[in-house]
Amino acid sequence: MQSYSLIAPAKINLYLEILGDRPDGFHELIMILQSIELADRIDIQPSDTQKIYLYCDHPQVPTDETNLAYRAAQLMCDVFPEMHANYGGVSIKITKNIPVAAGLAGGSGNAAAVLVGINLLWQLGLTQPELQDLAAKLGSDIPFCIAGGTAMATGRGEKLDEIKHLNDIWVILAKYENISVATPWAYQTYRQQYSDTYIRDLTAIKSRTAKIHSRPLVEAINHQNRQQIGKLLHNDLEKVVLPSYPQVAELKSAFAAQDVLGTMMSGSGPTVFALCESQTQAIAVKDQVRTQIRDPQLKFWVTKFASSGIQIKL
């Protein structure tokens, strides 16, 4: 029986700016997204029945239809009913390495892997842009998770422009196991506190979005200027998450005091990342911060930038 193992990398946000409200109730965003090598593994194979079965080794991850990977499989069954009838359902096994509800798009990556896996299992021959169109129906980060690498994301985060890929930057991730931040809470709180700064007129949003292409961070990426990249990291959501979670703010300050290129919270948090020039430096910084904040709930990962999204594990 044909089966596939897929690698689904996590992402970090090098840049996240909230421009305003969209008519569909989401926020209009400008983000620069970066894949990292920390990844989940998704094994997918045909099931004996027409049903979708999902298993996950992480107790916090739901295994019912609320799981994004399950919803991705359901979407494929709905869009390709003849293939579903012909090939039957699928059985999905998720092996979690990416921390859950951490601002690292773990669930989105799992869903992206399921779309890629079913495309292979059912021999649909969908192109990457076709898969990304389907992905956008499920969630804003999923189109990026399919392609991976380094990309500019606008709209809700689903409109992607590839930018020069960044290599050889090491990343330390740190997250308190007992803290998780719900993404909707972070955006709603931001709206409550900062909606007076929102750009209200659609034309102004469009011209503001166009200007991002000349923004200093994109230039720094184009020139692979690591020092500048580290200095220009930005995340609007820090303004609401850090005051509500003082431990996360303290963690970021601890990284900022080290010899790092830069440090920032990823997405809606609470993961904080720091960028380093080498693996040795990343390990040294991690050890320093670990001795400063002696909390058994604080977990660290050392990883590096990745240049691709979903990959088939041979």
Give least dist CB 62 to ligand ATP, A.
Answer: 5
Q: b or e along 154-163 (b: 16 or more beta carbons within 10 Å of the residue's beta carbon)?
A: bbbbbbbeeb
Question: Given 11, 252, 286, 304, which residue is catalytic?
Answer: 11
Distance CA 251, CA 232 (A): 19
105 near ligand ATP, rule: CB under 6 A? yes
Q: b or e along 184-193 (b: 16 or more beta carbons within 10 Å of the residue's beta carbon)?
A: eebbebbeee
Does residue 11 have an active-site annotation? Answer: yes
Give least dist CB 32 to ligand ATP, A.
Answer: 14
Q: Determine contact, residues 209/162, Cβ cutoff 8 Å.
A: no
Distance CA 83, CA 281 (A): 50
**Ramachandran area for residue 105 (φ above 0: left; ψ -120 to 50: alpha; else beta):** left
107 near ligand ATP, rule: CB under 6 A? yes
Beta-bridged to residue 299, according to DSSP, are 175
Give least dist CB 200 to ligand ATP, A.
Answer: 26
Residues within window 224-253 making contact with ligand ATP, judged by CB under 6 A: none
189 near ligand ATP, rule: CB under 6 A? no
143 near ligand ATP, rule: CB under 6 A? no
267 near ligand ATP, rule: CB under 6 A? yes
141 near ligand ATP, rule: CB under 6 A? yes
Segment contacting ligand ATP by CB under 6 A, of 76-84, 93-101, 116-124, 146-154 = 93-101
Question: Given 78, 93, 137, 141, which residue is catalytic?
Answer: 141
68 near ligand ATP, rule: CB under 6 A? yes
Q: Is the peptide bond before 184 cis (omega within 30 degrees of 0)?
A: no
Active site residues: 11, 141
